[in-house]
Amino acid sequence: MIRVVCVDDSAFMRKAISGMLEKEPGIAVVATGKNGREAIELVKIHRPDVLTLDIEMPEMDGLTALRRIMAECPTSVLMLSSLTTEGSRAAIMALDLGAADCLAKDQSQLSLSIGNLRDELVSRVRAIASGGRRGRFHDTVSLPGTPVFRPGQFDMICIGSSTGGPPVLETVLTALPPGFPIPVVVAQHMPEVFTRSMAERLDEMCNVPVVHLSDGAPIEAGKVHIAPGGKNAHLRRAGPRRWTVACNRDPAGTLYFPSVDVLLASAATEVGGRTLAVVATGMGEDGVKGAAKLVAAGGTILAQSEETCVVFGMPKAVTQAALSIASLSPKQIGEALRSVAPGAGAGPIPARRAG
């Protein structure tokens, strides 16, 4: 039985969220609260498998409560954020503080999208609960050696992630040195307002520029490109070692946006064997079909290790299909990517770029 505590300052949202979860077999809402102070106490009392936590609340907001919870009683937390620019920035901060995932809510549209919200809520609660409390201390996990690549071996790096992905992306991408010579394209399952805020935050932290993609944009060497939420990113060859991206809702029937399968499949066609891809934490199997096409084209796949994933769904599918050459911690993935830069060696990661 998955035991859940729901905390939201809106009585309507508490009732709605609790009702959606209580109707599902194997899920029990053991308590509800209306602010951050109550969240801290309820977590200590009930020790739930998952806490759903609103961000904007009186007396103590969700971010303040999250800091306290992670310090005093670490718990798997699903943050509920308003679908606004301010809400998305807070959501990205929550993920950095230790939340397992974020779900956007729009109370004004709840009655119109109740089915979609229910499906998302239930699937994420189940996924987070299945992962327990793994993934937050990935840098301390000891794993076998990191593969070392040679400079000039790849023309493109693609990364796919979902639940638990933003902190992993931070660890991996901040390892890239200034002047990194290869373009990086990231597909992270999130709404567009969230992916835009994530790109802005990563741009402030990384040694290389991080940009949010738009339809027709160039894919440039030395930059990290974040695919927009709600759309798929299709790489398109524009000349020798030159690419652009098409951002759209194709193909019909796509389950996740941006799809990791779509990104990797387009890399297989447009870049081929000179592609290095990473499949990181996330629920489901998005990425395994694209990875198979990429490996058939001669590309190389790295998977995030089970011990360091919030949800070992996507990397598990790739690993079980024998498509990845190694299972690595986020820190090791960063080191492996860094090895393709000329003169990277094994020295310390340089300071982050200023400005």
Q: To 10 degrees, what angle do helices 165-173 and 192-205 make?
A: 30
The number of CA neighbours under 13 Å toward the Cβ of 258 is 37
For 316-348, the three-class secondary structure string (H helix, E strand, C coil) is HHHHHCCCCCEEECHHHHHHHHHCCCCCCCCCC
- Beta partners for residue 185, in sequence order: 158, 225
Measure the N-to-C terminal CA separation of the chain; round to a whole number of Å. Answer: 49
Q: Mind telling me the catalytic residues?
A: 162, 189, 286
Dihedral Cα 15, 17, 18, 22, nearest 10 deg: 130
Q: To 10 degrees, what angle do helices 260-270 and 288-296 make?
A: 10
Rounded to an integer, what distance in angstroms lies between the CA atom of residue 162 and that of residue 102? 11
Instruction: Tell whether the torsion through CA atoms of 22, 27, 30 and 34 is positive or negative.
Output: negative
- Beta partners for residue 233, in sequence order: 247
Query: Residue 110 to residues 104, 113, 316, 333: CA-CA distances in angstroms?
Result: 11, 5, 34, 39
- Beta partners for residue 52, in sequence order: 6, 78
Two structure tokens written together for 217: 């944009």
In angstroms, how far is CA 89 from the centroid of its own chain? 15
Two structure tokens written together for 232: 């798929």
